[in-house]
Amino acid sequence: MMNVAVMKTKFEQSLTEQFNHVSARLPGGAAVGVARTAALGRFSALGLPNRRIEEWKYTDLRNALKEPLAVAVDDDTKVTVADLIVALGPLAHLEGPRIVFVNGGWRRELSNLEGAEGIEVAALGATLTAAQDKIGEALAGTTGPDNDAVLALNTAYMTDGAVVRVGDGIEVGKPLLLVFMRAGSEGRFVATRNVVSIGKGAAATIVEAFIGLPGSTAEGQHNSATEIHVGDNARVTHVKIAADTGKATHLSNWMVGLGAEAVYRGFQLNQGLGLARNQIFATYHGEGAKLDLSGLFLGRGAEHIDTTLVVDHAVPRCESRELYKGVLDGEARGIFQGKVIVRPDAQKTDGKQMAQVLMLSPDAEFDSKPELEIYADDVVCGHGSTAAELDTDLLFYLRARGIPLDTARSMLIESFVGEALDRIEHEGVREVVLDFARGWLSKLGR
């Protein structure tokens, strides 16, 4: 094949060029600066991922994201507490401490960390500016893949995010809410990074919410990354609620490291996103750990929602469960890629994966690609994938009992997605996720 120099798109060009203008205003000391420059170099060399790269064949970012975007730095879009409450929707009722970022910048006046007992929360930008190069080094040595252009862009441009630490043996009852709000009249490129560390034997629930301020532009791109280290015997519930108005781009990386006997439950809700790519890279560092990844993606119109998981069983006796449910209407497209690697030493690995989609329209599309790479011989691994329409017999049964068509459809869809929602252990968080999903369902066929 001929080696052709690829022309940069306007987006790639603008993201490469803006670095020189804004780098002085990005937080962090020398080590972070070096990491940023190196990451920008990787992005420039790689460009956005395109369909010729196997992992990205269903989600060609290079083709989808051509328009230039201004990088958000020191954003000062006015947002009041009342605005925040409106934007939070069902999340406004979730009890617990919250830290709020608007267009990638921490807003002290909107945050409320009272009652955050046993959990240390700080803004990443401020922490980096205070020259905590310890975090800087941790960022530089990030656990994600080094050939991922989306993650490279994050490292180059991250402005803020949450630094969360739970000490050994501390059990935090109330969920910690990290809010990332999109606001203003102009679409921006926003990059945020969270660094979470859960001590040995500790327990916590962390919720990330990506929402838009009603009345703001629907455009914009959020590039988010969360690194989470779960200590030995710790238990973590980690939930993402990405619920927007149908145009914004959401690119997300979770890098999860599990200690021995740790239990990590991750859940991701995607709805109202124009284009979403949710990557999770999970690695076991100690034996006997349990990983449970689940999610719900709701798509309509021309929305495109991609979930790509890489679960690396590097050590023996670990368990992984993945259960994803999708509901696709209109011409929406859903993608599920689940790679499970079982290394030669990872005997007694127990892995199960399932992705199920409900197709509400003949023009919707679902692509599913499970990948099991098994190098050990004493393992139990399975995967499955289904795409189905609503059961007309069940619809008739409900309607014969007087239940109107819309309600009957909603009941059946809710029952379909319920199994995934049940994976969220925290009841309050589960109710919030259900409320968001119901809001989406209530607009079906309208």
Per-residue CA distances from 140 to 40, 72, 155, 190, 443 (Å): 13, 21, 8, 19, 44
Rule CB under 8 A: say whether 401 interacts with other proteins: yes
Q: Which stretch binds other proteins (CB under 8 A): 30-38, 124-132, 313-321, 389-397?
A: 389-397
Rule CB under 8 A: say whether 130 interacts with other proteins: no
What minimum distance in Å lies between the beta carbon of 435 and other proteins?
16
What minimum distance in Å lies between the beta carbon of 397 and other proteins?
5
Rule CB under 8 A: say whether 405 interacts with other proteins: yes
What letters, b where the CB count within 10 A reaches 16 and e where it falls short, cover 352-367?
ebbbbbbbbeeebbbb
Q: Are 59 and 337 in contact (CB under 8 A)?
A: no
What minimum distance in Å lies between the beta carbon of 394 and other proteins?
6
Residue 184: partners with Cβ closer than 8 Å, 6 or more residues away: 75, 77, 103, 213, 216, 217
Rule CB under 8 A: say whether 427 interacts with other proteins: no
What minimum distance in Å lies between the beta carbon of 419 and other proteins?
7
Rule CB under 8 A: say whether 392 interacts with other proteins: yes
Q: What is the dihedral of CA 279, 18, 212, 271, to 10 degrees?
A: -30
Rule CB under 8 A: say whether 53 interacts with other proteins: no
What minimum distance in Å lies between the beta carbon of 343 and other proteins?
37
Q: Which stretch binds other proteins (CB under 8 A): 80-88, 133-141, 240-248, 402-410?
A: 402-410
Pick the binder of other proteins from 76, 397, 443, 445 (CB under 8 A).
397
What minimum distance in Å lies between the beta carbon of 401 and other proteins?
4
- Sign of the four-CA dihedral 213, 214, 216, 221: positive
Q: Which stretch binds other proteins (CB under 8 A): 31-39, 197-205, 226-234, 397-405?
A: 397-405
Per-residue CA distances from 200 to 137, 269, 407, 422 (Å): 22, 28, 46, 26
Pick the binder of other proteins from 68, 418, 428, 439 (CB under 8 A).
418
- Cα–Cα distance measured from residue 3 to residue 16, given in angstroms and rounded to the nearest whole number: 22
Q: Are 182 and 222 in contact (CB under 8 A)?
A: yes
Q: In angstroms, how far is the first alpha carbon of the chain from the final one?
A: 49
Rule CB under 8 A: say whether 414 interacts with other proteins: yes
Rule CB under 8 A: say whether 416 interacts with other proteins: yes
- Return residues touching other proteins (CB under 8 A): 392-394, 396-405, 407-408, 411-412, 414-416, 418-419
